[in-house]
Chain A
Amino acid sequence: MRRFSRVILKTPPRRTRRNAGALVVEMALCLPLLIWLTFAIIEYGIVINTTMTLTQLARDTARFVAIHGGETNADAAATVNGSIRAFLKAECAGQSINYSDLTVVIGTMDAGTGVVTANAASARLQGNVQTVQISYFMGNKISVSAKLVPGLSSFTDNTKPVIKKSSVISEKAPG
């Protein structure tokens, strides 16, 4: 920019006005591309951050389920002290994800299809495998501009949530 300024100073006033006009036109042509690029970088950042946060939430919740999944109030609402959902809600408090936007299923996973079927706390027997599944719509985080970014357009589909699973062993007997 400094070199450019010097050039401007050396050029006569008539030519400066003409150049400035050209610059505006050029910038007008370039700006959309720059703005698109900026948004693309921001959207990618959000998607990756959210993905890692969801992985972390699934992992921590599964660890809680391994120890407390068999307790009588394990499947109670997030308002009930000691429940799995209360734990997840507390975990979300320090993150950029709203607990109310998450869908949680705790149960057994079909190894073939990957489908998680919810089970009762009393069925989480010691030594059995439990899976925590967390679903989240990335549309809660990214804007429509992501539709114009290669690789991100699918995340704006509000019928396809991002799903994270974590499978663990129940360490305690129910009750």
Chain B
Amino acid sequence: MKTITVSTRNSQRGFAFVWLALGMTALMGMGAVAIDISMWYARKADLQKTADNASLAGAFMLAHGGTIAQAVDKANQIASLNGYSLTMPADHSNPNATSASDIKYPVGTHNSWFSVRVQNSQIPFFARVLGHGAQHLEATATAEYQAYVDAPIPVTEAGYNGLDTNYSVFGPYAWRAYGDQYSPMYESTSTPGPKYVSGTSGPLLSNNDFTNNQKGYDFTITVPSDFSTKNPGKKLQIDIFDPDCINKGGATDASAIVKDPLTGLITGGTIDEIRNGQSGRTDDYTKTDFKVVFTPDALGSTDKVIADQVYWKDATTDLQWVTPPGFTFDPAATISQYGSGRFHVQVKSIDGSSENGFNIRSGPEVAAADLKSVTVSGQQYTLSNISETAWHNKYSGDPATASAGKNGTQVAAHGRIPLNFNANGKADILLGYVPANAAGGTITVDRFDTDIAPSGQSNIKVTYTCDTLGTGDYTGWDSGHQVSWGSFVPGVCNNTVQTDTIPLSPTYSGGNWTAHYWAGGQDSSSWTLHATVPGGSINLVGDVGQLH
């Protein structure tokens, strides 16, 4: 018994040291594992940053006319500035899996995808005592380029498509729920929209939200290189239909435009809709800024503003084609000064909460007799003095008219189409030419607030056609890429976006696309069109990192 007691006492002395030794081993082991793994993840985050930035740089170069070699060089430059160098195999479509880091282009059938993989290894701090060598770390990022598609308008009428529809822009103090996705700062209540703060002091773009129209709706004016040959001695003239936001007679809603059957002159109708909005505005009526801008093609150049004019409650211009000051200019002079580039008209609402309906046409400058000058309250306006039919015959260049072979210019909504129905009807929205290099990719159509059904129907209807793919509704190119539209479907997109993704087959050879939209009067909607073709923006389509 005594012996046992002594033995017990002796064994208990230093017991805490034993526990400590055991506990410390376990604790330090776990701590070491945690630190090693954390270091790997920290390094992986660095690799991911590099892969993201490099893939975006490569896609950017491809989107802006760069060759594959230039894209690879730029991706390599960005990767090395971010701390890692890429070793590229010669064949980018089939990278060598064992090389340190590589680039893959194109990715599968996606001609618009540019993928970068960055690999590295990190020797652990502690696990090396257990014989763990360098840990392999890897991050992959794929970026896609895509561009807005120009949606052309055949301007033979005051309306966008016949007389029932118009382009339209809401004021910044309107509600998005009214149907303009990009101009208003508010959703559908008097509180600022969730995407903005301090609503009355202007929109703030929050994290990654680029919804707001910073420069307004954009309309491309295509000027052919032979414009001066077709129209000797003539400048280019851009006209705006009804740039103001007021209806003669005070009507607050839109209604179908009425024309005199004999003269072809507009005698009635309304295309502006007066709406109440939020506090902070000067007035309900929307003030709209029309700007002619030239964007040179050269990378690194800045926009050149050719002319700029604001319209508000100008009753004189109601239902008139107006030539704003400076909207008649010589495009050749601009091109010789700045090089090739894109002429466009930016339309941005700067105050008010109402809907301003308008339209745009372009052509050679018209004869002095076809214009009239009106001065009201000290402000001079230059208005068209002929009917649209007469303008069409003399200046549009339409082959079926006396002006065949002239003009050559084309107006198109660049990516975003703000549309308003003045009356019940159907709009054929020309989505423009989607070239063959979108093969294997997609056309994406975002339609916002397409929700007012035509009379006699409870729902709206949208279909798509392509001139090179037959006259029937396009439903996809094989059983794995089926899409279906074509019936009057529930108006699910009140104040929301419905995205129609149109898959293109790898053998797609280019074509003109049209959306057909049936809706009712006062339906306002915004359409956004982009395709995986060079020329516009880039974004990440996926990034994957791993430890293995």
Contact = CB atoms under 8 A, between A and B. Distances in A.
B78 A111 contact: no
Determine the main DSSP class of A at the interface with B: helix
Given A56-B45, A171-B60, A129 B81 contact: yes
Interface stretch (B4-12, B100-108, B380-388, B403-411): B4-12
B56 A169 contact: yes
B74 to A, nearest CB: 7
How extensive is the interface on chain A, given as a class? 35 or more
Contact of A37 (B17, B24, B52): B24
Interface string B262-283: 0000000000000000000000
Determine the main DSSP class of B at the interface with A: helix
Interface string A37-58: 1001100110010011001101
Contacts of B206: 90
Given A26-B17, A168-B57, A128 B300 contact: yes
Interface string A105-144: 0000101000000000010011111010000000000000
A109 B81 contact: yes
Contacts, number: 144
Interface string B31-71: 10011001101100110110011001100110010000000
Nearest to B75: A169
Instruction: Select the residue from A26, A62, A86 with max chain B CB neighbours within 10 A.
Output: A26
B53 A23 contact: no
Nearest to A30: B20
A49 to B, nearest CB: 8
Contacts of A4: 12, 15
Nearest to A49: B38
Instruction: Select the residue from B78, B81, B302 with max chain A CB neighbours within 10 A.
Output: B81
Contacts of B125: 151
Given A11-B5, A19-B12, A51-B42, A173 B82 contact: no
Interface in B63-111: 64, 74, 77-78, 80-83
A168 B205 contact: no
Interface in A1-25: 4, 7, 10-12, 15, 18-19, 22-23
Instruction: Select the residue from B15, B24, B53 with max chain A CB neighbours within 10 A.
Output: B53
B77 A129 contact: yes
How extensive is the interface on chain B, given as a class? 35 or more
B204 interface: yes
B338 interface: no
A151 B38 CA distance: 14
Given A44-B35, A169-B60, A175-B303, A22 B8 contact: no
A79 to B, nearest CB: 11
Given A37-B27, A165-B82, A171-B60, A19 B13 contact: yes
A19 B300 contact: no
B16 A27 contact: yes
Contact of B42 (A10, A55, A90, A167): A55
Contacts of B210: 67
A52 B545 CA distance: 15
Contacts of B301: 125-126, 173
A166 interface: yes
A67 B301 CA distance: 15
Contacts of A55: 42, 45-46, 49
A87 interface: yes
B415 to A, nearest CB: 15
Nearest to B212: A82
Given A82-B204, A173-B301, A12 B5 contact: yes
B145 to A, nearest CB: 10
B52 A18 contact: no
A45 B8 CA distance: 41
A33 interface: yes
B90 to A, nearest CB: 24
A59 interface: yes
30 contacts: A4-B15, A10-B8, A11-B8, A12-B5, A23-B16, A26-B15, A26-B16, A29-B16, A30-B16, A33-B20, A37-B31, A44-B38, A45-B38, A51-B42, A52-B42, A52-B45, A81-B197, A81-B203, A87-B207, A109-B81, A125-B301, A126-B64, A126-B299, A129-B78, A131-B81, A168-B56, A169-B57, A171-B537, A173-B303, A174-B302
Q: Which 3 A-B pairs have the closest CB atoms?
A: A26-B16, A125-B300, A81-B204
Given A12-B5, A37-B28, A48-B35, 5 more contacts: A40-B31, A44-B38, A45-B38, A52-B45, A127-B300
